[in-house]
Amino acid sequence: MGSSSIVPNTTDGHAAVWRNGATAPTDLGALAGYDYSDALAISADGTVIVGQSSDYVNGIFHATSWTNGATLPVDLGTLGGNYSTASAISGDGSVIIGQSNTIGGSYFAVSWRNGATTPMALETLGGSFNYARAVNEDGSVIVGSSDVAGNVATHAAAWLGGSTTPTDLGLLGGHNAEAIAVSADGTVIAGNSETSDNSVHAVVWTGGATTPTDLGTLGGSISQATALSADGTVVVGRSNIVGDSQFRLFVLRLAASPDMQDLGNLAASFVLLANDTALAIERQTRIADSVMDSGCTVKTGGRWCASISGVGQFDDGRSDTGVGVLSLGWALTDRFTAGVSLAGGSSGHMDSGAVDTGLSWFGGAWLNYSADQATHTGWQAAAGIAYGEASGTAVRGLGLDNVELAPGDFDLGTLGARVTAGYGFAVDDWVLTPSVGFEVFHSKRSSYDEAADIDFPASFKSLQTTSSTATLAVAAGHSAGAHGRVELQGGAVADLDYDDPTVIATSTIPGLESVSQKQALDRNGIRPFFGATYTFQPEANWSVTLDSRLERAEFGGSLNLSTAARLGVSF
């Protein structure tokens, strides 16, 4: 409902309504001889529409109503003057409220009950002006404001049980207050009141109270309520923050100790959660990668090998990871070695702290091929698969002001597979090995519910994402003394496919009942890297390997530093 122009480029317009999903309006007409009408409110079942119709030329405005699908308005009259408007209606359509003036030009709040076409004036608190703002479901409670005697102040007022005599709803200590909304059952009224220091705060009156309850602010000196939910449990409005530097929208669920929450930051909490979820998944893929990369080598004459590795991955403090890997392998032939690996890794808190994956456990299998293990020349190939899970905690709202922390527990599983092939050839005293590799990862985070005892909990659907990459690299190896070997690597990892993790949730936050939020971090599709490896083998059957790699991070402008130490034995 509303209004629509009937003649292009003029002020002529008629009230209009769109029913049953229609995209074309139904013209509700105007009072005879009038050139304009506007629909301002509608009953809960849509059977009664109220508003006004006007004759601009003569300065006349009359409250109007349309009932049971009528397309011509009913004139609701005035208090004797030339102005009235119907601005709100009870949910059941029985009571209409608005404003009208008398023949002497005084303006008063008015009501129309049970189909009346003549307004009834609502009395003031002793002053010369009042205003009705809202009415409850059955019309038994009307709220607004009224001047007091001498017009020295304006107080919030309520007209109860059909009475035209107002009840003064009191103040927070200042001079002025207003009531702007009422719950469907009439037990909760929301509004604003001046405080003793002349600031304005959002307030509520509950259970028939005539003294307001201060709802506070988001940290500044001013807050203003603008709406109240039908069940009387949620107030929304605006407030300035610390320093009074800016206004922010707030939402507040009335409770024993209510706290305003920043509505913008509540929305941002889902963005941070999606970002940290993407980082958590990326760390899981890195742990899986460590498992597939931690095989051991069977030396000539041996049959079995084992290794233990410690890996540290550092991303400028955003999501550091530590991994321990134990591998066992056996020689299938003098060129093929197969094995299994077990790993435990911890990524801790992600960037904003919204996600903590805790300890991850991984298991994997691998197969290595070397045409000539002693010289590292000829074809070199590797394949691996790994799977792991972590039980994590998400705390939505961390790092944001005026947002209640919303914890929840989830499980995260990641499956990874990799194949790499290269060819080594001797160039003077060096062995150069160009290679190409492909990896694919699939991760699934379980559905979960946030704690039920917070103000605005959310329920999250399960999340799945798949990524695949290609790696082009060149390694250059050289002997380093009688028992050592050094190898330098360089290349780039490129995304072949990447599904942005999307957080999908339902919540009880007004305006955010349905959330579908992709991670908002900038993804680097190509990530150059440089690495160095040193292997020390004092005896034929054991060795120590130190490895370091610097790579452009998956997200943002930081760098990933990976370091590893491995002890390997052959027997």
Tens place of pLDDT per residue across the chain (571 aa): 666 666 565 567 899 999 888 889 999 999 998 989 999 999 999 999 999 999 888 889 999 999 999 999 999 999 999 999 999 999 999 999 999 999 988 999 999 999 999 999 999 999 999 999 999 999 999 999 999 999 999 999 999 999 999 999 999 999 999 999 999 999 999 999 999 999 999 999 999 999 999 999 999 999 999 999 999 999 999 999 998 889 999 999 998 777 999 999 999 999 999 999 999 999 899 899 989 987 898 887 789 999 999 998 887 656 678 899 999 999 999 999 999 999 998 876 666 788 988 889 999 999 999 999 888 999 999 999 999 999 999 999 998 999 999 999 999 999 999 999 999 999 999 999 999 999 999 999 999 999 999 999 999 999 999 999 999 999 999 998 889 999 999 999 999 999 999 999 999 999 999 999 999 999 999 999 999 999 999 988 899 999 999 999 998 888 999 999 999 999 9
Q: How many helices (H) and strands (E) does the chain have?
A: 1, 40
Q: Is 8 exposed, middle or buried (0-12, 13-18, 19+ CB in 10 A)?
A: exposed
Distance CA 349, CA 279 (A): 10
Phi, psi of 401 (to 5 degrees): -75, 145
Task: Of 410, 303, 301, 422, give the one whose Cα is nearest residue 360.
Answer: 410
In this prediction, residue 557 carries a pLDDT of: 84
The beta strand positions in 13-113, using DSSP E, are 13-17, 26-27, 36-42, 48-55, 60-67, 74-75, 80-89, 95-102, 107-113
* d(C-alpha 483, C-alpha 541), whole Å: 12
Both structure tokens of 308? 């233990």
Contact between 29 and 72 under an 8 Å Cβ cutoff? The reply is yes
Task: Please give the angle made by the CA atoms of 104, 110 and 111, to the nearest 5 degrees.
Answer: 150
Which class is domain 265-299+329-538?
mainly beta
The 3-state secondary structure of 479-534 reads: ECCCCEEEEEEEEEEEEEEECCCEEEEEECCCCCCEEEEECCCCECCEEEEEEEEE
For residue 227, what are the contacts with CB-CB under 8 A and spacing of at least 6?
180, 181, 190, 235, 236, 237
Domain with CATH 2.40.128.130 in the chain: 265-299+329-538
- In three-state form (DSSP H/G/I as H, E/B as E, the rest C), the secondary structure along 278-294 is HHHHHHHHHHHHHHHCC
Q: Hey, how many other C-beta atoms are within 10 angstroms of the C-beta on 386?
A: 26
Q: Which two tokens stand for residue 390?
A: 């972590």
Give whole-number Cα distances, 122 to 72, 161, 162, 169, 175, in Å.
28, 12, 10, 16, 22
Count, residues in the chain? 571
Q: What is the largest CA-CA distance in the chain?
A: 114
pTM of this structure: 0.88
Phi-psi region of 43 (alpha: psi -120 to 50; beta: other; left: phi over 0): beta
3-state secondary structure of 23: coil
Please tell me the distance from the alpha carbon of residue 41 to that of residue 135, in angstroms, as a whole number. Answer: 11
Alpha carbons 544 and 567: distance in angstroms, whole number: 5
H helix or E strand, kind and range, residue 417: strand 406-427
Rg of the Cα atoms in the chain? 36
Rounded CA-CA distance 264/156 in Å is 29
Q: 277: how many CB neighbours lie within 10 A of its CB?
A: 28
d(CA 253, CA 237): 12
Classify residue 256 by its DSSP letter: S
Cα angle 164, 166, 167; round to 5: 145
CB neighbourhood size of 117 (10 A): 12
Start and end residues for every CATH 2.140.10.30 domain found in the chain:
2-217
* CA separation for the pair 117, 108 (Å, rounded): 17
- On whether the 2-217 domain is CATH 2.140.10.30, my answer is yes
pLDDT at residue 153, as a whole number? 95
Tokens of 190: 């929301």
Measured at the CA of 197, the angle between CA 194 and CA 199, to 5 degrees, comes to 45
**Residue whose entry in the numeric block shows the structure tokens 């959002």:** 202
Exposure of 540 in the CB half-sphere (CA atoms within 13 A):
6
Give the Cα separation of 214 and 196 in Å (integer): 12
How far from each other are the two terminal CA atoms of the chain, in whole angstroms? 84
**Nearest in space to 112 (alpha carbons), one of 129, 99, 130:** 99
Tell me the DSSP string of 158-193: EEETT-SSEEE---BEEEEEEEEEE-TTSSEEEEEE
